[in-house]
Amino acid sequence: MASVVTAWFAGCIIYFAVILSAQTDEEIRSRAQQNFATAVVLTDSDAIQFGVQNFNPNSITPFKNDDMGNDDSLDLRNKVAVTSFPYSWELNSLSPQVKHEIAVRASYVHFENKVSLDSRPDLPADTDSNEVYDAFFEYRLIYNITDSWNIKYGLGNHFMYFKNKHSYNSRESEQLKPFLDGYAYNTSSRSYIAEPNIELNYELNRKWGYWKYTSSFNYFYGKVWDKKREYDFGNPKGWYMVNGLKANYNLTNWDGFIPSAYTSFKRIDLKGDPEASFGTDNYYEFSVGLLLTPPIFKDYIDNVGIGINMNYGSALKGGSIVLFFNE
């Protein structure tokens, strides 16, 4: 059977030990909390990034460091798909020192896994497909302390929907269907999660570009219901902190496009329900890439680009080719 990290990962996989006596209400509630809590972190691109192509850094570098990635983590990254469409805009403010901002984001998380019976590894594995839809809305208040320093206070709201589709691929697992269907498998649930947060930024402009330091703290707490609101599936909760440095180095203006070299380094600490999914309470992310500021749609697009992102120390350790948007 897949590991607990793999089975619980992406906030959308249900693990069972096949022994029906172990299928307690408390365990199902804990998994429901895990589903949504993990999705909160996965859909925040400041905390973790996914790309269009994953790879194991150890296969192309001489370091051979298992915390950089391995075949298992590469397989896990390939099973997780996260798509997000963020947008934000400023509201009118009476003071140039205080800004008000609204941010919205539509996100989708998909995770597929093979589940086998412990006692019968020779049987065909069941197919388990999971989806999480997240509609996110946030109000932010931004206070400019100086020209370089600002602090943001935010209150985020997640409206989430989880759906599981499980295929029983053997006669033996099919016998468990009456006990699991509609409760652990082939079911859906909903959640509302509040996410208050605070962020401190320092940005220093230079002739060559700028560098920026960010420290943010996000706490979240919510409630989960089943489809018919008959069961209380617990309270997803936890927190994560992101501390990072990033720099943009301006290159030569190219026919109206303004290219820049981009790099960032982050440490992410987390506690609560997502910790088991990530297999750690802290990990690192490093990105490098090339950005272009297009000459059109400047009110909506700061930049677009392509690069490489590395995750170090989590269950999702490894590398990805990523597409950047408004970095």
What pLDDT, in 10s, does the model give residues 244-277?
999 999 887 666 667 889 999 999 999 999 998 8
Report the half-sphere exposure of 327 (CA within 13 A, side-chain side). 30
pLDDT at 28: 62
From the options 3.10.20.70, 1.20.1090.10, 3.20.20.70, 2.40.128.130, give the CATH code of 31-118+125-325.
Answer: 2.40.128.130
Confidence of residue 25 (pLDDT cuts 50, 70, 90): low
DSSP state at residue 20: G
Q: What confidence tens digit (pLDDT) does each residue in 170-180 have?
A: 887 788 788 77
What CA–CA distance (Å, rounded) separates 324 from 171? 46
What CA–CA distance (Å, rounded) separates 210 from 233? 46
Other CB atoms within 10 Å distance of the CB of residue 274 = 28
Q: What confidence tens digit (pLDDT) does each residue in 95-125 have?
A: 889 999 999 999 999 988 877 776 677 778 8
Asked if pLDDT for residue 8 goes beyond 70, the answer is no
99 and 144 in contact (C-beta within 8 Å)? yes
Least confident of 109-113, 139-143, 148-152: 109-113
Confidence of residue 229 (pLDDT cuts 50, 70, 90): low
Predicted TM-score (pTM) of this structure: 0.85
Domain boundaries, the chain: 31-118+125-325
Residue 206 one-letter amino acid = R
Determine the 3-state secondary structure of 240 from DSSP: strand
CA distances 33 to 29, 265, 273, Å, are 6, 30, 7
